[in-house]
Amino acid sequence: MKTIRLTTAQAIVKWLLAQRTRIDGEDVPIFAGVFAIFGHGNVTSLGEALEPVQEELPTYRGHNEQSMALAAVAYAKAMRGRRIMIATSSIGPGSTNMVTAAAVAHANRLPVLLFSGDTFQHRIVDPVLQQVEHFDDPTLTVTDTFKPVSRYWDRITKPAQIVRSLPQALAVMLDPATRGPAFFALPQDVQAEAYDFPERFFEPKVHYIRRPGPDPRDVQAAAALIERAKRPLIVAGGGVHYSGAVDVLRIFAERHAIPVVETVAGKSTLTHDHPNYAGPIGVTGSTAANAVAEQADVVIAVGTRLQDFTTGSWSVFKDPDVRFVAINTASWDAHKQGAQPVVGDAKVSLEAIDTALGTHAAPPEWLSMADERIAEWHAYLDSWSGRKHDGPPAYAEVIQSINTAASPEDYIVSAAGGLPGELSMGWRSKGIGTFDSEYGYSTMGYEIAGAWGARIARSTGEVIAWVGDGSYLMMNSDIYSTVMTGQKVIFMVCDNGGFAVINRLQVNTGGAEFNNLLRNTNHERYFQVDFVKHAESMGAVAERVDSVADLPAAFARAKAADRSYVIVVPVSEYTWTEGGAWWEVGVPEVSERAGVRSAREDWTAKKQHQRVGV
């Protein structure tokens, strides 16, 4: 067997370069690039290996380990998991900064490859700079914190281990049933150690994402349930996008006359004007979708993990005899709520159920009812345009203005605070697969970093990142990254003076306004941040727009700009789009506040509608 002598770090990079995939008939590297902040633990060995291969595997310098890894997550989402970005950090705080991003990837079932430096395996020089010592377990380092948030975790203690471990990690990241982050702890001494690696380990290999087919018995059982249904409903989740099942789901819904509602991850499965579209469902959903869900007798959940925001903490499906069909590559998700599981790829599974159903269609009055509800919802959204009032505009006014001006190929990014709900309810999708609201982990700071990653992934349309003032203050340095790398993003910064949506939750559950709006926090001096100047200091073009009437012109200037553009808009902290569903939170059972006691009574009443899992 022929061998080649390389360091562990050099061998890792050489193997990464050899992994290929095919997208739209084109052979491309499966690893598209590396986000890196170098320090002791990854600069001398991994950095040395990455530097000569910039044409094949470009390295992008990050400004915060968490944000650069979030950019890698957003890239994977925009690429529907078909290509993967890498993030690498030094040991210590650089490493643990990436833990949150790993959790985001894990919650959203997205592939990202993380390499962290680690302390010396030989331990002779312990404790090294930034090492956290554990007196009862010298094998434990901070890289162990990635175990709960990784789908694949390994610490390389001998160079030969990567021959087995790297392919296994990639297999996990590409399997729709296990997809998520893979993490490698790379001790400094092991990175630098040389080994005679088999040459065939570095032979080019083309990978693809498998489409596991469902068991025919599950298909027949699912079809039988749907045939008996009088009021069937499709819940389209993110898995529809990752499977590339959008067209199949659309045809399935049309042929069988079934309304389609969308989760946050599944948004833009259908365009807003499609006849089967019934709106976004759940806590961040529309009155239309939730009204349809209340009456559904069979719910076909496609590619969704049915989190509490989708199900209204399992209160939106009010038919006591409702049954579920769950189509998912992950058996864990397919078996929730006593569902009839269909474990398999969404596209293949829908095709199989479609064949089993033949020409069957739901009663026409059911889809007609859904059409009436969504028409009412669109009329409500239209009513936000042209409103006359004092004070700053509502989120909904700003969203409707930009939505009208946006193009079908423009791509929306958001993550936390009030914007995901407002965008889920108010953004009317003109194009398929054009919406990314990171609501699996709802991570403040994802918006700006994620937009950078999405822009790298997408070659058409604008990337429009919607970010609140709270998230902006938490993590903003990748505005500079987008300018520096020529990856233009339009940032819509909506300033409502703090964490207004949590203030809303606080007040709605009977609490006093406390520590959420900036003016209600412990402070000596209260003033507004000048986001325009701040964004300009990072190289972006920026302007403040106080009137909704001026937004279309500002957006046009942003589209015409040659670099990232920031539009700062003050928005009302108390005006919200009305819709949604109940969401269970911990309301105190005992309180001196009458408002809290009243909220607890409401909680008890709403709890009666909650399903218990069968």
> Counting beta carbons within 10 angstroms of the beta carbon of residue 144, is it exposed (0 to 12), middle (13 to 18) or buried (19 or more)?
middle
Q: What is the model's pLDDT at position 594?
A: 96
Residue 390 binned pLDDT confidence (cut-offs 50, 70, 90) = confident
| Domain ranges for the chain | 3-207, 216-377, 385-570, 584-614
Tens of pLDDT along 232-265?
A: 999 999 999 999 999 999 999 999 999 999 999 9
Q: What is the model's pLDDT at position 614?
A: 63
What's the CATH architecture for 385-570?
3-Layer(aba) Sandwich (3.40)
pLDDT for 613 beyond 80: no
Q: Say how far apart CA 274 and CA 600 lie, in whole Å.
A: 40
Q: What is the model's pLDDT at position 612?
A: 82
**Span 449-453, average pLDDT:** 98
Question: What is the per-residue burial (b if ≥16 Cβ within 10 Å, else e) of 79-105?
Answer: bbbbbbbbbbbbbbebbbbbbbbbbbb
Q: Say how far apart CA 243 and CA 333 lie, in whole Å.
A: 15
Q: Say how far apart CA 222 and CA 46 lie, in whole Å.
A: 50
pLDDT for 387 beyond 90: no
3-state class of 114 per DSSP? Answer: strand
Residue carrying structure tokens 């039988």: 224
Q: What is the model's pLDDT at position 341?
A: 98
Q: Helices in 232-330 by DSSP H: which ranges? A: 238-243, 246-256, 287-295, 308-311
Does 216-377 match 3-207 at the fold level? yes
3-state class of 588 per DSSP? Answer: coil
Residues 6+ apart with CB under 8 A from 538: 476, 477, 479, 480, 483
Residue type at position 433:
G
Angle between helix 419-426 and helix 395-405 axes, rounded to 10 deg? 50
Query: Residue 460 gets which letter from DSSP?
Result: S
pLDDT for 571 beyond 90: yes
Tens of pLDDT along 86-115?
A: 999 999 999 999 999 999 999 999 999 999
**Span 597-606, average pLDDT:** 94
Specify the pTM: 0.97
**Span 189-199, average pLDDT:** 97
Residue carrying structure tokens 């890196």: 36
Q: What is the model's pLDDT at position 22?
A: 96
Q: 3-207 maps to which CATH number? A: 3.40.50.970
3-state class of 289 per DSSP? Answer: helix
Tens of pLDDT along 348-381?
A: 999 999 999 999 999 999 999 999 999 999 999 9
3-state class of 255 per DSSP? Answer: helix
Length of the chain: 614
User: In 3D, which of 305, 175, 284, 300 has the Cα closest to residue 249?
Assistant: 300
Q: Say how far apart CA 447 and CA 465 lie, in whole Å.
A: 6
Q: What is the model's pLDDT at position 389?
A: 83
Share of the chain above pLDDT 70, in %: 100
**Span 29-43, average pLDDT:** 97
Handedness of CA 400, 432, 77, 13 (dihedral sign): negative
What's the CATH architecture for 216-377?
3-Layer(aba) Sandwich (3.40)
Q: What is the model's pLDDT at position 608?
A: 87
Mean pLDDT of the chain: 96
* 3-state helix/strand/coil string of 42-108: CCCCHHHHHHHHCCCCCEEECCCHHHHHHHHHHHHHHCCCCCEEEEEECCCHHHHCCHHHHHHHHHH
Handedness of CA 368, 373, 374, 376 (dihedral sign): positive
